[in-house]
Amino acid sequence: MVKPVRMAECKALIQQMRRKATSVDKAEKGLAKYETLRDLGAGAAGSVSLVRNKIDGKDYALKTINLTYLTERDRKNAESEVQFLRVLHGPTLIQFHESFIEKNNIYIAMEYAENGSLDQLIRKNLERGSRFKTEEIISYISQISLGVMAMHSKNILHRDIKTQNIFITKENILKIGDFGISRQLDSTNQKAVTACGTPYFMPPEVCQGMPYDSKADVWAVGVILYELITLKKPFDSESISGVFDKIVNQQLDPLPSDVDVNLRTLIAALLNKDYSKRPNIFDVAQIPCIRNAIEKFIDEHNCREDVAGHFTSNYKTNFNQEFENANKEANATNQQHNSEYEAEDGEVHV
């Protein structure tokens, strides 16, 4: 026999269920579902904290951007960063989790790279007096190139590629992050005109206030390559004007004599001051040493489907043959220098 339902008990039960539902909703939405573990850093665009999601138990990097005093341009940059994170996918790009606005802040939850930044790794090697091996350098540049290809295949310029924005996972995978000043062009032929980024990594055309395109990002990859080889920046000075002068007018300091010929030729190509002669990122990916490293990375991480779209581009050049010719010239020059050295010394050095 079914007992009659008392209305008072029924109302109390409904209220209890509502309270539980409300508490669950609060725990599952916005900032409330994250536990802050520690601060990771802060910059002009905002601060980043390491947080743990109370629901899935995973750690994320949570970027906080306060909207109170932002200019209209900075607000658009913050909104663009969220949009770029949503649309950009690849094994060497920091992945987006979610974003929300709360208490006049934009919060962006992203993949957390446990091993810090490439800048930190270079500093550690510098402190130890330990240079990177050629295989390591080529592997790192190939991974960065894959990330840049993912962006450029969608006509998106990063505009602030630097060692501080290259992050390293616990699996030792390099990932590009921080898309705060990135921009999407309407076509591969369009150029940007707004000068932005970090001075050390700016190409000559940006330093001179000229229009620029995706090859500005390629120059920045070249700066990273030089720093991986030498553990120092290629163009350094005590003032920004001094940095710009070196970038525009001065030649690179010579590389150590034992640097691999592939790295020498790659440096000459990526840091070509004439952007019309500088390769695009798809050219870079076809250079044999980079292409082989990319193929190895794809096989090791089983991500061929994830990167298939990166190799579809509107760029058609003969740069690969140009690189091979330059490589042969560099080899011949090295052999000539070695012969001259041996002749002067009167001994054969093995």
In CATH, what number is assigned to the domain containing residue 150? Answer: 1.10.510.10
Last residue of a domain, one of 111, 141, 160: 111
Query: What's the number of domains the chain is made of?
Result: 2
Q: What's the confidence (pLDDT) of residue 3?
A: 52
Last residue of a domain, one of 58, 78, 111: 111
Mean pLDDT across the chain, nearest whole number? 83
What's the whole-number mean pLDDT along residues 300-306? 92
The pLDDT tens digits of the residues spanning 140-174 come to 999 999 999 999 998 899 989 999 999 999 999 99
Q: What's the confidence (pLDDT) of residue 196?
A: 57
- If asked whether residues 260 and 304 sit together in one domain, one would say yes
Are the CB atoms for 124 and 284 separated by under 8 Å? no
- If asked whether residues 293 and 152 sit together in one domain, one would say yes
- If asked whether residues 136 and 218 sit together in one domain, one would say yes
pLDDT of 340 strictly over 50: no
State the pLDDT confidence band at 310, using cuts at 50, 70 and 90.
confident
Last residue of a domain, one of 71, 87, 111: 111
CA–chain centroid gap for 80, Å, is 16
- If asked whether residues 41 and 138 sit together in one domain, one would say no
State the pLDDT confidence band at 71, using cuts at 50, 70 and 90.
confident
Tell me if 27 is assigned to some domain. no
- If asked whether residues 95 and 137 sit together in one domain, one would say no
Q: Find where tokens 């050295």 sit.
A: 341
State the pLDDT confidence band at 21, using cuts at 50, 70 and 90.
very low
Q: Which residues are catalytic?
A: 160
- If asked whether residues 193 and 87 sit together in one domain, one would say no
Give me the helices (H) in 160-214, please.
204-207
Are the CB atoms for 49 and 36 separated by under 8 Å? yes
Residue 105's domain is classified under what CATH number?
Answer: 3.30.200.20
- If asked whether residues 272 and 160 sit together in one domain, one would say yes
DSSP E strands in the chain: the ranges are 34-43, 46-53, 59-66, 96-102, 105-111, 156-157, 166-168, 174-176, 183-184
- If asked whether residues 38 and 139 sit together in one domain, one would say no
The pLDDT tens digits of the residues spanning 225-241 come to 999 999 999 999 889 99
pTM of the model as a whole: 0.80
Tell me if 282 is assigned to some domain. yes
Amino acid at 114: E
Q: What's the confidence (pLDDT) of residue 349?
A: 34
User: What CA–CA distance (Å, rounded) separates 241 from 116?
Assistant: 30
Tell me if 195 is assigned to some domain. yes
Tell me if 245 is assigned to some domain. yes
Tell me if 66 is assigned to some domain. yes
Torsion sign over Cα 56, 58, 59, 65: negative
- If asked whether residues 137 and 183 sit together in one domain, one would say yes
State the pLDDT confidence band at 315, using cuts at 50, 70 and 90.
very low
pLDDT of 288 strictly over 50: yes
What's the whole-number mean pLDDT along residues 199-222? 93
- Which residue range is the domain that position 142 belongs to? 118-345
- If asked whether residues 196 and 76 sit together in one domain, one would say no
- If asked whether residues 208 and 324 sit together in one domain, one would say yes
Q: Minimum mean pLDDT among 62-71, 85-94, 191-200: which range?
A: 191-200
Tell me if 276 is assigned to some domain. yes
- If asked whether residues 96 and 139 sit together in one domain, one would say no
User: What CA–CA distance (Å, rounded) separates 189 from 198?
Assistant: 24
DSSP 8-state secondary structure symbol assigned to residue 135: H
What's the whole-number mean pLDDT along residues 181-210? 74
Tell me if 76 is assigned to some domain. yes
The pLDDT tens digits of the residues spanning 320-330 come to 555 555 555 55
User: What CA–CA distance (Å, rounded) separates 155 from 280?
Assistant: 12
Tell me if 21 is assigned to some domain. no
- CA neighbours within 13 Å on the CB side: how many for 169? 17
